[in-house]
Structure 1
Amino acid sequence: MSAPIRFPRFFVTTPSPCPYLPGRTERKVFTELAGPHAGELNDALGRIGFRRSQAVAYRPSCHGCQACVSVRVRADAYRPTASQKRTLVRNADLVVTACKPWTTEEQFRLLRAYLAVRHPGGGMADMDEFDFADMVEQTPVRTYMIEYREPSDGARPGRLVAACLTDKQGDGLSMIYSFFDPGCEGRDGLGTYVIADHIRRAAEAGLPYVYLGYWVEGSDRMQYKTRFRPIERLAASGWMAFDPPAPAPARRRRAPLPSKEQLVGTP
């Protein structure tokens, strides 16, 4: 006989300042991902709006606020915009590799460069090598570090210019956290390219969705997600088509990221 599946126990964090909307507080409900059925549990929770951070699955549970909305892109129906097509062409020579979730010094240097320019003083600004290793390596599910490198010169691998910590779920790819070289000459739009590449790869693998985490109306730092269409949001009645006004292309954002202690991976 197989062992029975234990129903997960859920807990709630204490309220803390909201990292997205000034003047509000946030609270999360979370559970541990552990044991032989961790992957199945993560898949099931992902379909109802949970996100993974290390061995924890969480979702917002804020009193009187439902601003955080889970969103996902329909990979099979995705059609890049004219701007996204240019970004895809400009970066088409990048070499993409799905690596095991094991950190390297090169990845950490890239992360530090990204945080210093895009999120100075944010919640992850003081992340050290051990924190980074915990974020990447403490995973009970099928996880990859997707690396994006410039072409090799033949003697050694090309320079790492972007990376994304990604979970492979039963119905799609979940982008946990991505980072890139913000000053890489001739490669504008690396963040856009990484998302578009995930959508393309999900479609090629027969996976219907790419999960982008939470979209927050009124938070500028979240608006980039709605540039990828068709996009769906999770409502009380289930997943449904979502058609918010597409934001204008933006070059750089300088908003603080939530801290590791707030159990946030890629928002």
Structure 2
Amino acid sequence: MNPLEWFGKGCSVCGGKKTGFNWCRTCSAKHFEQNFKTWTSGNEVIDKFIQDAQLSAGENFEVLEWVPYERFYDVEFIAKGGFGQVYKAKWTDGLIHKWDDKKKDWERLCADNFVALKCLNNSEHVTFEFINEITCQKKLNSGFITKLYGLTQHPETKNYMMILEYAENGSLRNYLDDNALNWENKIRNIHYIALGLDEIHKNRLIHRDLHIGNILMNNNSTCITDLGLCRPADHDASDKKSIYGVTQYIAPEVLRGKNYT
């Protein structure tokens, strides 16, 4: 079937309208729900967050999963920030693509491909910062924002980790250390960054920590990452004790104790 032909087609199983190519929200939700008792993150809040995402997924790229840490291998440290660490690892299973009715299991893509694992400090207690970041990542499901695939937990520290899209070329800051951009690439990258910001602002959010270290380069694509400080547009940023970020990139009005304009 041509990928465009699914529009208006009914699901061959339940008869309902398909919500995506090879995807029926009603049937997929039933398959996910049947497996709820087979996994747990060990935390009710995280379990419910993932379950709600699975039940509401209208496309395969909207699915989140709980993935046991042992499903990753070749784990390698990438970078450390003020709030945690980032690793890259290969994911044995890969991404859910569609339900295989013959095998009675999910068909998957990109098995053994690299993903990024972002570990937040003290997230074993499921802090506000952790819930805020995964909520923003889930809400901002755009090609110009780093994709969130699911969650896992470090077996030693017990900190929870986000499973994110891996950017092969790293941050824009690191990329520019060894590469030059011609005008065509500069304009294209600026365009992608603007589209990512537009997605954030359409959801009435402000990134609050945008700098070249939080812009990722992935082949010919550019995306925004690190939504840990992302807040609603009406968030009160006037408290100077709550000012975070890289100083030279912080909005001047915030440094003066005012809200974002």
TM above 0.5, yes or no, is: no
Q: What interval of TM-score do these two structures reach, taking the shorter chain for normalisation?
A: under 0.3
Query: Could you state the TM-score of these two structures normalised by the residue count of structure 1?
Result: 0.24
Q: Which of the two has higher C-alpha Rg?
A: 2
Report which of the two has the higher share of strand. 1
